[in-house]
Amino acid sequence: MSPEKKAELLVCNCQRTMDIDGEKLARALGRDSPVLVQSELCRAGLKTFEKAVREGGSLHVACTQEAPLFREVAEEHATSDISLRFTNIRENSGWSDSKGGALPKMAALLAEATYSSRPADSMTLSSAGVCLIYGRGEAALAAAEKLAGRLDVTVLLTDASDALPPSVVTAPIAKGIIKRASGHLGAFEIMVDGFAPSLPSARSQLDFAMPRDGAKSKCDLILDLSGNAPLFTAADRRDGYFSVSPEDNVAISEALYALTDLVGEFEKPVYIAFDAGICAHSRSGKVGCRNCLDHCPVGAITPDGDHVRIDPAICGGCGNCASVCPTGAASYAYPRREDILARSVLMLDTYTKAGGKRPIMLLHDEKHGRQTIDAMARYGRGLPANVLPLALNSALQLSHDTLLELIALGVERTVILAPPEKPAELAALEIQTELAGEILNALGYDGPRLRIVAEADPFVAEALLHELAALRETQAHRFSLAGTRRDLTRMAMAKLNAAAPSPQEIIALSHGAPYGRINIDTQGCTLCLACVGACPTGALGDNAERPEVSITEAACIQCGICKVTCPENVITLDPRYNFTNAALSRDVIHGEEPFHCVSCGKPFGARAMIERVTERLRSHSMFADEKQLAIIQMCDDCRVTAMANMEGDPFKGGDRPRVVTTEDYLADESAAKTNGKPPRTPDDFLN
């Protein structure tokens, strides 16, 4: 998507708490007339907004705090279709020590906001309000009593010792322990051991029927008051599931309130676009890449034959899978990588045109990152003037290639504001940042140019941003943002290498990097070509004319399937990045002259393999003479014929009778006329 036509722009300095020059801002944005800067657009200047609304079209307001008010006013005064957009230039730019020096960044923020990212797909989750309350005694029964009448409630008690039989049963009661749970909002499935429904005749305490194991049930919602470990990993991100301590009355009340809202149909973004055709998980049962499986915190990814399956209903949108996927089979769609880069280009071009220097890209999410930036602006020094914030749904979606592409676009540094509450989930982002840093270091770029800031204290993060020292200026490149992930990465890497302080042809990389080639021990390789057949990306190839293994290095992702498939164990991985054009061409790793069939002369197999097998079997009792050994040296067709005619074969049949044809009958009639004898009958031919 490209930037839309210029909308009507309304800018406010928020009661003069920001220093905004309307003329300079207009020039930076390429506008013909100065931008009129309001002081109280949401109060005294509201008439200006109303007038713009009545004129219709697109309206861009440089304020997010009062967006609800502006939308309400727009509904009242709009006389035609109106498109509203809101941009935060206050906390992101104006409220800082930079004062008027922040204008280039303001222009960059306003320009970036005009970009329309492609919307992600969505799915519908349906909940009929069937709710399971799982927990101990009175706490579970009390929660059920509050929800009765609002939801269709069932109670499953882990311990009924302190539970009193209710005088009126408002929800079915049973006892048992959940051994397995799966699913999501609107489609949970559980398996219960020791399941026993309560008996209606219970008097002073709850009594239950005979328990049984393996009982299964379904529900739309689960309130877990058991006090045990949650039924799901990353339980706080499993829609429809609430795990709350039975002693925390406030948390229970909040969960009950949230549960009553989860009835009906709900739209959920499909965060990950998945292309099974380029997934390199496994081939023929041999597992290669399992990056996404290892880094998904919510268990939304499972093996599915040679590929994996991503359940969008469970996916929480962290983006770890997209970050570590070497082929691009899993890609983030909220927003897409190309949209991130296009937005960055808009920001950088506008920032530079307005006189901005040393651009630092600050990538953050809309939760932790937004709160951190707001706290800096309201209570601290605010963001430095050269730090350009770019909001994402999840900062964990970033991969090494996106980080390198940003540097190639002219960013001096990239800083990622990552959520600190789950440090284990940062592993994928850390791996990707380290890989990008390894490549930049090998090319001689000073740094570090990439940094993850996972701080709960906003003022620690603020201090880190203000302490960033200037680095050697990098060249800003512009290149096409279309193409596959690997193609775009290679283009950016070529730009970085061409302008690098120490350009390289080949750089060695650490184990696990998704670039490289393979090495083959040619002494042990029989050229069986199992590796070629197993390669999921087509990086390995053969030759129809002769036994040969070749590689297109640019397509190799170092998944290791070839290595685990090789029956001779002669393959090793060689992680590296080849900047030369040779990486795009096929390079023969190992090849031999073909062996020629000793019977018909047709080439087949590898000479070394046939000779090696022949020599090994020479002393075997089944190949006691040269005639038997010769069978090994024949092509498939000749081998079948030779074995069928082999003497001493107890299964050998007699000679097949010749097929009698029409030509035989005609020839016999002609001979009979010449000799004066009667022609033979069909039975004569058979006998």
Q: Give tens-digit pLDDT for 98-140.
A: 988 999 999 999 999 999 988 889 999 999 999 999 999 899 9
Angle between helices 427-442 and 485-498 (to 10 degrees): 40
In the chain, what percentage of residues exceed pLDDT 90? 77
Containing H/E element for 389? Answer: strand 387-392
**What is the separation of C-alpha 650 from the centre of its chain, rounded to a whole number of angstroms?**
60
Sheet holding 187-197, edge to edge: 215-219, 187-197, 173-184, 152-159, 130-136, 221-225, 241-243
Judge if the upstream peptide bond of residue 536 is cis by omega within 30 degrees of 0. Answer: no
**The pLDDT of residue 658:** 67
Do 270-332 and 506-591 come out as alike in CATH topology?
yes
**CATH tag, 506-591:** 3.30.70.3270
DSSP letter string over 570-631?
Answer: -EEEEEEEE-SGGGGSEEEEEE-PEEEPTTT--EEEEHHHHHHHHHHHTTSGGG-SHHHHHH
2 pLDDT higher than 60: no
- pLDDT tens digits, one per residue of 35-74: 999 999 999 999 999 999 999 899 999 999 999 999 999 9
CA-to-CA distance for 567 and 421, rounded, in angstroms? Answer: 46
Sign of the alpha-carbon torsion through 145, 151, 156, 159:
negative
pLDDT band at 657 (very low <50, low <70, confident <90, very high): low
Specify burial of residue 639 (Cβ count, 10 A radius: 0-12, 13-18, 19+): middle
3-state SS assignment for residue 426 = helix
Residue with token string 């004569």: 684
661: its two tokens: 């044809």
Sign of the alpha-carbon torsion through 249, 250, 252, 257:
positive
pLDDT band at 675 (very low <50, low <70, confident <90, very high): confident
Compute the mean pLDDT over every residue in the chain, rounded to the nearest whole number.
92
- pLDDT tens digits, one per residue of 556-575: 999 999 999 999 999 999 99
Mean pLDDT along residues 474-503: 95
User: Tell me, what DSSP letter sits at residue 85?
Assistant: E
- pLDDT tens digits, one per residue of 319-373: 999 999 999 999 999 899 999 999 999 999 999 999 999 999 999 999 999 999 9
**Cα dihedral 177, 179, 182, 188 in deg (nearest 10):** -20
CA angle 322, 327, 330 (to 5 degrees): 30
May I ask the CATH class of domain 124-267?
alpha beta
Beta bridge mates, 307: 304
430: its two tokens: 């850390």
pTM of the complete model? 0.86
pLDDT band at 655 (very low <50, low <70, confident <90, very high): low
CA angle 220, 223, 224 (to 5 degrees): 130
Q: How many CA atoms lie within 13 A of 325 on its CB side?
A: 30
**The pLDDT of residue 653:** 54
Containing H/E element for 508? Answer: strand 506-508
CA-to-CA distance for 638 and 236, rounded, in angstroms? Answer: 67
Architecture of domain 270-332: 2-Layer Sandwich (3.30)
Is-contact 576 515, C-beta < 8 A? yes
CA-to-CA distance for 276 and 284, rounded, in angstroms? Answer: 15
647 pLDDT higher than 70: no
The ranges assigned to domains in the chain are 8-86, 124-267, 270-332, 337-498, 506-591, 594-644, 657-687
